[in-house]
A and B are shown apart, each in its own frame.
Chain A
Amino acid sequence: MKKFILVLLMVGVLLVSGAFTALAAEEINVIYMAQAAYQPNEVRDMADLFEELSGIKVNLEFVRYDEQHEKVVSSAVAPIPTYDVFSLDLIWTAEFASKGFCVALDDYMSPAVKEDIAPAIMDAFVFDGKTWAMPFLANFQLFFYNIDMIKKAGFDAAPKTLEEMVEQMEAIKAKGICKYPWTDSWNQKEGLTCEYVWLTGAFGGDTFDKDAKPIFNTGPGLKALEFMVMLLDKELASPKSLTNDEPAARDDFIAGNAAFTSNWTFQYGSMNDPSISKVVGAGKMGLLPVAKDVLGKYTYDTASVSGFQGAAILANSKNKEAAWKYVRFITSPIVQRAYLTEMPVWTSVQTSAYAKTMDPVIDIKAKEIASVHHRPKVPPYPEVSSILQRYIHSALTGKMEPKAALDKAKTEIEAVMGL
């Protein structure tokens, strides 16, 4: 099957490639973050095909997510363009755009392209009215639950609201079905900001307002943090959450140590892999619950957080044309069709009959992705997020009261942003 898809892909791309003029000795360097989504060998496969079709040589470099930002920045500031194309995490859009590190892609994109990508995805890469990256990977958080545990506790379906979920968790705990029904990745890293953003969404709001001013210390933002603290205080959330990163939280869940968790799309694959998972069959994926008061506010009654990646072109690249061709190729619908383990960014692919037969849960994914909340789009994002992580974490560990922590975080963030 996989071979067949590849052949189809090749034929399709051969046709497309009529547009490419084979330029000998053209070369582009690409830096990509190694993570759960496309694996290095898959990215290499795409690049190999591209090389063959276009005659443009592609050098790939993979780095850990944590290093990608520094690598790209130092390359962008240097007068020597080391990279032409890089994978841009949506949280860097404002920073890179405001400093002019990457090129606006609006002139390259045809209107048809823009129409076929959902606004929820495209907006993540828009800053100052321009688009700075071509959406490549649509990552977002989903709800994972262990249906066996829920049924054992005497309920028959997954919770729709946070209140229902707490009720189910208390029952699960009381009956001794598992010690800590909730697990999550609340360690003091970017993952914590993500969890906080979707929970704020689940309480009906955003962390920052439309003018990029912090508003998280009152209303939904405060409720979200109080909710997290409450889960820990009632011992519904595993204390290991405080040190878990995303794979560790997944490991907790697939080892059958928790009934509920929220995590990125990658957990679906591991959950159903019998070689590592103990919850095959019991582990289910669904829409993240929202607070009871928020029901009816969102189209699908769910809230999530976005973790999109785009392919962007560095401003000091000497090969912008070739770079764009590569970007266009790896983000094309035809490539995304071949790798349906990842959520495609193209509406036409998401809704195609083919995708529906290949991916039984694409419906859930499509609803969740339409309900994402973005992390704040502000130029000094790394510093802002670092402050948020620090204060949220000190509230979770009981060193500060939620309200005091968020107030303090707000003051520091405003100082950094010069508000």
Chain B
Amino acid sequence: MSIRRQELSSKQLALILLLPSILIILCVVIGPLVFAFYLSFFKAEPIIGGISTKFIGISNYIYYFLKDPLFWSAVRVTTYFTVVSLVIELILGISMALVLNKSFIGRSFVRSIILLPWALPTVVNARMWEWIYAGSSFGALNGLMKVLHIFPADYDKVWLGFDVPLQNIPLIGNFMEWVGASTALNMIILADTWKVTPLVTLLVLAALQTFPDSLYEAAGIDGASSWSQFWNITLPLLRPVLLVVLVLRTMELFRVFDIIYILMQYSIRVVGVYTFETGMKFLNFGRGSALSFLVGLFILGIALIYVRVLYSEET
């Protein structure tokens, strides 16, 4: 070590370290997104040997916002999927975390196996539930319902069917129909929740473990019930982690595609499925791009909120 090379300045080093990553991301994510935006002003479709384009201004956007009934129904059904999933995931996730935070025999075993659903590939998850929901006598859920005597022996429910839940209750039924809820969608929510809840549980559990016991001891002496302990102490302390889960999951739920496409193809049009259908099935590249851009923009918006939340927690 006779001659030490002159050290690079902070800025130069940062540039060298960051450049590859930024280049990759710029070329492969930002580029295409800008391209999608550009393409959204055209009527574009593939023909042999290339793509035919015709400039049509903002017609594609006008189409979606004013003319296309499917666009708004896609937004509604995606919102339904997102909201219902979020509520169930949060309630289930917090409850499971509270249970797993107690001490019991085999706790570390249970804590490790709850990772299993989360590690299962989405496609496998979808097809596994498709098989469980099979609408005949060989479907596992139908079998279970019959064994538990919830269903009569000769009845087989079509779990992935389109009957509207709560249809017969006035107002609520109409609302459900308007949102585009169906038994199939609810069952898909259940399947997706099964896979994702462990993530929520683990995040909440990690937060719970950092709480000092002294907090609860004081409350215990005051004679507060467990419910009020949870409501007044635990929940406020969980606020930061719940906020993170909320924003993170909203983003992931809103862009749902895989599980719905695999189970229902195009018959439940959430925004992701509708985008794919427009672009890759109907081959309306221009319209599909407009839709892609809208979806991308929306998610990017939530993502920015998320980052701001994280930053405010950090400082």
Q: How many A residues, CB 8 Å from partner?
A: 28
Residues of B within 8 A of A248 (CB): 135-136, 158
Instruction: Give the distance to chain A from B262, nearest Cβ to Cβ, in Å.
Output: 10
CB of A311 closer than 8 Å to a CB of B:
no
CB of B31 closer than 8 Å to a CB of A:
no
- Interface contact B281-A70, CB-CB below 8 Å: yes
- Interface contact B283-A73, CB-CB below 8 Å: yes
The contact of B136 among A101, A251, A399, by CB within 8 Å, is: A251
CB of B160 closer than 8 Å to a CB of A:
yes
CB of A386 closer than 8 Å to a CB of B:
yes
CB of B280 closer than 8 Å to a CB of A:
yes
CB of B55 closer than 8 Å to a CB of A:
no
Residues of B within 8 A of A70 (CB): 280-281
CB of A99 closer than 8 Å to a CB of B:
yes
Question: Do A382 and B281 form a contact, CB below 8 Å, given A66-B265, A248-B136?
Answer: yes
Q: B-facing mask of A81-102, CB < 8 A → 1, else 0?
A: 0000000000000000001110
- Interface contact B281-A243, CB-CB below 8 Å: no
Residue of A with least CB distance to B261: A66
Question: Do A100 and B47 form a contact, CB below 8 Å, given A70-B281, A243-B135?
Answer: yes
In the assembled complex, the Cα of A380 lies from the Cα of B278 at a distance in Å of 12
Instruction: Give the distance to chain B from A193, nearest Cβ to Cβ, in Å.
Output: 13
Q: How many B residues, CB 8 Å from partner?
A: 20
- Interface contact B282-A383, CB-CB below 8 Å: yes
Question: Do A386 and B266 form a contact, CB below 8 Å, given A70-B280, A77-B46, A77-B48?
Answer: yes
- Interface contact B161-A242, CB-CB below 8 Å: yes
- Residue of A187, A243, A248, A380 ringed by the most chain B CB atoms within 10 A: A243
Instruction: Give the distance to chain A from B118, nearest Cβ to Cβ, in Å.
Output: 27
In the assembled complex, the Cα of A69 lies from the Cα of B276 at a distance in Å of 13
Residue of B with least CB distance to A399: B177
Question: Do A187 and B135 form a contact, CB below 8 Å, given A99-B47, A100-B47, A243-B161?
Answer: no
Residues of A within 8 A of B283 (CB): 73
Instruction: Give the distance to chain B from A338, nearest Cβ to Cβ, in Å.
Output: 33
The contact of A397 among B158, B162, B265, B267, by CB within 8 Å, is: B162
Residue of B with least CB distance to A397: B162
Instruction: Give the distance to chain B from A276, nearest Cβ to Cβ, in Å.
Output: 11
- Interface contact A99-B281, CB-CB below 8 Å: no
CB of A316 closer than 8 Å to a CB of B:
yes
In the assembled complex, the Cα of A187 lies from the Cα of B277 at a distance in Å of 18
Residues of A within 8 A of B281 (CB): 69-70, 382
In the assembled complex, the Cα of A382 lies from the Cα of B48 at a distance in Å of 18
- Interface contact A189-B135, CB-CB below 8 Å: no
Residues of B within 8 A of A316 (CB): 48
In the assembled complex, the Cα of A243 lies from the Cα of B135 at a distance in Å of 10
The contact of B46 among A99, A240, A315, A397, by CB within 8 Å, is: A99
In the assembled complex, the Cα of A70 lies from the Cα of B158 at a distance in Å of 28
Residue of B with least CB distance to A381: B282
In the assembled complex, the Cα of A73 lies from the Cα of B177 at a distance in Å of 35
In the assembled complex, the Cα of A380 lies from the Cα of B47 at a distance in Å of 13
Q: List 16 A-B contacts (CB under 8 A).
A: A73-B46, A73-B283, A77-B47, A77-B48, A100-B49, A101-B48, A188-B162, A189-B265, A240-B135, A240-B158, A242-B161, A243-B135, A248-B158, A315-B48, A386-B282, A399-B177
Q: A73-B46, A240-B161 known; 10 other A-B pairs, CB under 8 Å?
A: A66-B265, A77-B47, A99-B47, A100-B47, A100-B49, A189-B265, A240-B158, A242-B162, A315-B48, A383-B282
Q: Which B residues lie at the A interface, using CB under 8 A? A: 46-49, 51, 135-136, 158, 160-162, 177, 265-267, 277, 280-283
